[in-house]
Structure 1
Amino acid sequence: MTQHTDAVVIGGGQSGLAAGYHLRRLGIEHVILDAQAAPGGAWQHTWDSLHLFSPAAYSSLPGRFMPAQEGEVYPDAGHVVSYLADYEKRYELPVQRGVWVSAVHRDGDFLRVETDSGDWRARAVVSATGTWTRPFLPAVPGRREYAGRQLHTVQYRSPAEFAGQRVIVVGGGNSGAQIAADLAGTADLTWVTQRPPRYLPDDIDGRALFDAATARRQALDAGRTDTGGIASLGDIVAVPPVRAARDAGLLPARPMFSSLTPDGVVWPDGTSAQADAVIWCTGFRPALAHFASLRLRGSRGHVATVGTRAVDEPRLHLLGYGDWTGPASATLIGVGRPARDAAREIAELLGR
């Protein structure tokens, strides 16, 4: 059976909820289809010690401040999950859970959203599926021959399961630094990065990062010189656990190894190390397989957009995948503005 609505939002995490909030404010009939069984998006699947980069008040979706977490300046992931669940309930957002979207097709004046529980036809679609379900693993020589345990950021939970083991953490971004700090003192840790770690100044948190991303987008839109955005400041936010491990000398970084062996890794100079586990903190790609039939994806798997709107399919908006879908749109505080813009464009499309 095919159901009809004005707009379908694919994904019920933070970006999907922000889209739903603004669509609801504009009186646009919509449904939010989420593959997860419970609220919270990717936040319900993170490692145990993960905390936000910003205080609660600076980590909020549109319309409702995130309450502070008792005893914490930077809320943990569990607090974010509770906030998202409350947000969804407070605004009575029409989320349908356990619905897997397999494809989006052009269907005359509509887009048809194909799911495992029936199809939807809508005048507009907002894709907010994020990146968490598409972890990226680099093609390092020997990776398939390595006999130890390999896992990605998405599979890491706590240092307890690696106590006393020889662990190599790969990646010089925030996830790599935080997981390395989490393991320091529990595991025999080797942290590997493509270039020497670049820490942001210790007083910088998510508020400054959002401002930097916004300033960069404004400069580019105005034809001014690229400010470099967040990348110009550094790669790693020195959250308290990372700062403590760094200052204690527990986070020395080695350059990237050249290959894996059955029992470890080898560096270009011929030195080697044995490892019981390798944790790849090597990033993600946007989860856009459901657009295959639309033939929209270009370089790096991205879809060309103007703001959030797909250039080659104006009935489609992409939200929350990174700066190419709005400044800081992959963050709690940053997704509100592009979600609002997408909802307004959908209202114009519908003649509202």
Structure 2
Amino acid sequence: MEVMTSETVDVDIAVIGAGQAGLSSAYHLRRLGVEPERSFVVLDHAPGPGGAWQFRWPSLTLSTVNAVHDLPGLSFADTVAAAQPSLASGSASGSVLASTAVPHYYRVYEEKFGLPVHRPAHVRVVCDRGDRLHVETDDAVFAARGLINATGTWERPFIPHYPGAETFLGRQLHTRDYRSADEFAGAHVLVVGGGISAVQLLDEISHVTDTTWVTRREPHFSEEPFTSDHGRAAVALVEDRVRRGLPPGSVVSVTGLPVTPAIRAARARGVLDRHPMFREITPHGVRWPDGAEKAVDVILWNTGFRSSLDHLAPLRLRGPGGGITMTGRLATQVSSDPRIHLVGYGPSASTIGANRAGQAAARELTRYLDPGPERAARVL
């Protein structure tokens, strides 16, 4: 059902989402001469700048976060340094919260480059209306000639179904719901997942209470420094999938877990004693295929996210296998509808990939919408 709105606004391009990918796209649209407000808008559902970073758990500081990459044209480190000590968390270590520093950086970025971000703008649905795509929010319909979707994954936490989950008498939560290890003191916590977030939270929680760690696959730890070659190889694997119309998978899943000093310390404490996945959930814990059981009070699902694309459902972009066939230089363009680019999807899900995807999407979409020689000269 379509959302009834009070106003229709014609724009050339609508960008949905103001995280890393959305802001990068908006920056490059401005660089290409696309006029803000009149020719393009950025629609962001969040209450303020910062993308998903503003919702991250308090223990995620700039000293523990995996990486915060610069948006094009402005240094993150310089921006944060200029704001000290106003960004300090007040902790004894003086660590700066990622949920404070990154939103500050994004706010400065939006203001510096005059990006036309509308918030909170809740995009309910996008419909095809012939020569225009109608992007319907609570307050208006933006009738756009082209669309850059940069909604990421934070709104779609994924928890796999296991038999008996509904009978569990303890607490179940996802990475997205995590706030502090202290809330689990005295409880036995089962940490599920083999990614970077799972290992970080496992380490934190293990300092205050008992933990058990389970993963579907044997975790792969990498002692080698993560290089640009590793990153490009990982992105290439995911890009190949989306070009073939397959669900993208995760870039992180093929890079391995970096062995940091914290990881070495956790390993020495015996925290990283990994167990295979259980078969079912019982009222008081979990049970493995061989009948072995473990009593637990909390199940923490660090099982990732899925692309937040429900608002695009009326466009019928997905193929029979659930994936979207992508094309373009960096696989951001939807093969079945070249007016639509997905950034922060598949190979551009990482922050580095999001920057490059934003540039590619801006260039390719403006070229498609206005292929004339004047526009082409600016795009090249």
Q: Assess if the C-alpha contact under 8 Å between 2:332 and 2:361 holds in 1.
A: yes
Q: 2:65 aligns with which of 52, 58, 71?
A: 52
1:330 has 2:349 as partner: yes
Seen in structure 2, the aligned counterparts of structure 1 residues 210 and 288 have a Cα distance that, compared at 3 Å, is: same
Alpha-carbon deviations, 1:325-345, whole Å to 9, x = none? xxxx22222212111111111
Seen in structure 2, the aligned counterparts of structure 1 residues 119 and 239 have a Cα distance that, compared at 3 Å, is: farther
The match for 1:320 is 344
Query: Structure 1: how far apart are the matches of 2:252 and 2:172?
Result: 30
Q: Assess if the C-alpha contact under 8 Å between 2:21 and 2:344 holds in 1.
A: yes
Gaps of 5+ in 1: 222-227, 324-328
1:116 has 2:138 as partner: yes
- Partner SS for 2:352: coil
The match for 1:246 is 267
The match for 1:13 is 19
Percent of matched pairs sharing the same residue: 43
Superposed CA RMSD in Å reads: 2.7
Query: Structure 1: how far apart are the matches of 2:255 and 2:314?
Result: 39
Query: Structure 2: how far apart are the matches of 1:73 and 1:172?
Result: 26
The match for 1:2 is 8
Q: TM-score, normalised by structure 2?
A: 0.82
Q: Give how far 1:66 is off.
A: 1.4
1:130 has 2:143 as partner: no
The match for 1:204 is 226
Seen in structure 2, the aligned counterparts of structure 1 residues 219 and 152 have a Cα distance that, compared at 3 Å, is: closer
Query: Structure 2: how far apart are the matches of 1:278 and 1:155?
Result: 12
Query: Structure 2: how far apart are the matches of 1:212 and 1:43?
Result: 26
- Partner SS for 2:165: coil
Q: 1:348 aligns with which of 353, 358, 367?
A: 367
Query: Structure 2: how far apart are the matches of 1:201 and 1:74?
Result: 27
Query: Structure 2: how far apart are the matches of 1:304 and 1:218?
Result: 10
Seen in structure 2, the aligned counterparts of structure 1 residues 239 and 84 have a Cα distance that, compared at 3 Å, is: farther
The match for 1:41 is 51
Query: Structure 1: how far apart are the matches of 2:238 and 2:283?
Result: 45
Q: Give how far 1:210 is off.
A: 2.9
Aligned residues: 337
The match for 1:62 is 72
Q: Give how far 1:245 is off.
A: 1.4
Q: Assess if the C-alpha contact under 8 Å between 2:195 and 2:252 holds in 1.
A: no
Seen in structure 2, the aligned counterparts of structure 1 residues 209 and 35 have a Cα distance that, compared at 3 Å, is: farther
Alpha-carbon deviations, 1:19-68, whole Å to 9, x = none? 100111112221000110011111111122223324x5xx1111122116
The match for 2:183 is 161
Counterpart code for 2:189? V
Aligned ranges for residues 302-321 of structure 1 at < 5 Å? 302-306=323-327, 307-321=331-345
- Partner SS for 1:314: coil
Q: Give how far 1:75 is off.
A: 8.1
Q: Assess if the C-alpha contact under 8 Å between 2:13 and 2:41 holds in 1.
A: yes
Alpha-carbon deviations, 1:175-214, whole Å to 9, x = none? 2111111111212101111122211225337x56534335
Query: Structure 1: how far apart are the matches of 2:223 and 2:185?
Result: 31
Q: Assess if the C-alpha contact under 8 Å between 1:52 and 1:74 holds in 2.
A: no
Query: Structure 2: how far apart are the matches of 1:238 and 1:88?
Result: 35
Seen in structure 2, the aligned counterparts of structure 1 residues 302 and 273 have a Cα distance that, compared at 3 Å, is: same
Query: Structure 2: how far apart are the matches of 1:137 and 1:208?
Result: 32
Alpha-carbon deviations, 1:284-307, whole Å to 9, x = none? 111111111111113664321102
